[in-house]
Structure 1
Amino acid sequence: MIWGWLAKALLAGAMIAAIAELGRRLPTVAALVASLPLVSVLGMVFLWHARPDAENMARHSEATFWYVLPSLPMFLAIPWLLRHGVSFWAALAAGCALTVVLYGLMRLVAPKLGLPI
């Protein structure tokens, strides 16, 4: 069990390291690779391997879609803050804080809208 977990962690870490290295040379290409839902796809593969249940996978995939939406404004807030003189770490913290707030709002609003999260 620990070996499977370690393999998953190493794979995810290698993906992040590769994107960071690519970003040093080709930032736009690295952004494209980072925007791909690689972690979500790998997560679904690992989940399917652990529990091959179509309904469970459908719920997981659909909830993932709805949770991606509140994370998107962070990718507009950070560059806006950086271009207006805010330091990288402060902009990153503000972007993350914005995402946390929007996740909280999603958790409050989603049941009222009948969203499956």
Structure 2
Amino acid sequence: MFFVLKMIVSAFVIAIVTEISRRLPTYGGIIAALPLVSLLSLFWLSIQGESETNMNQFTLGVLIGLPATGFLLLIVYFLTKHSVPFIVSLCAGMVAWAVFIYVQDLLKRMFT
């Protein structure tokens, strides 16, 4: 039952952001850039009684993923701005994200 509640609340938040984005794209983008998923995840983890260690590791994972996500969005922005179809832009952004994460992980291993 708790799983269903998490899905409903999370879907509701996404639906609200999508509606705002449809009407006011710039403000919708700003709201979407908020750490809504991260905060919702931390909230649900806390409610479920997850350990502080796991919550800290989750938060670190989010921080590690931020640069790659920014890179993905930058790729999608520039490609769509230059009339590349959205689905192609999105796929290129996702590939760029995966490569960024891979390179970031390689660098982390080299220097730790």
| 1:78 match | 76
- Residue 5 of structure 1 and its aligned partner are, at CA, apart by 1.0
Aligned to 1:98: 96
Aligned length: 112
Distance 1:11 1:99 in 2: 28
Counterpart position of 1:11: 9
Q: Cα distance, 1:104 vs. partner?
A: 2.0
Query: Which structure would you say has the larger RCO, counting Cα contacts within 8 Å and 6 or more residues apart?
Result: 1
Alpha carbons of 1:109 and 1:51: their partners in 2 closer, same or farther (altered >3 Å)? Answer: farther
C-alpha distance in structure 2 between counterparts of 1:55 and 1:88, whole Å: 39
2:38 to 34, 37, 40: 40
In structure 2, runs of 5+ residues without a counterpart are none
Residue matched to 1:61: 59
**Amino-acid identity (%):** 26
13-22 or 105-114, which moves further after superposition? 105-114
Q: What TM-score does the superposition give when structure 1 sets the normalisation length?
A: 0.84
Q: Which runs of 5+ in 1 are unaligned?
A: none
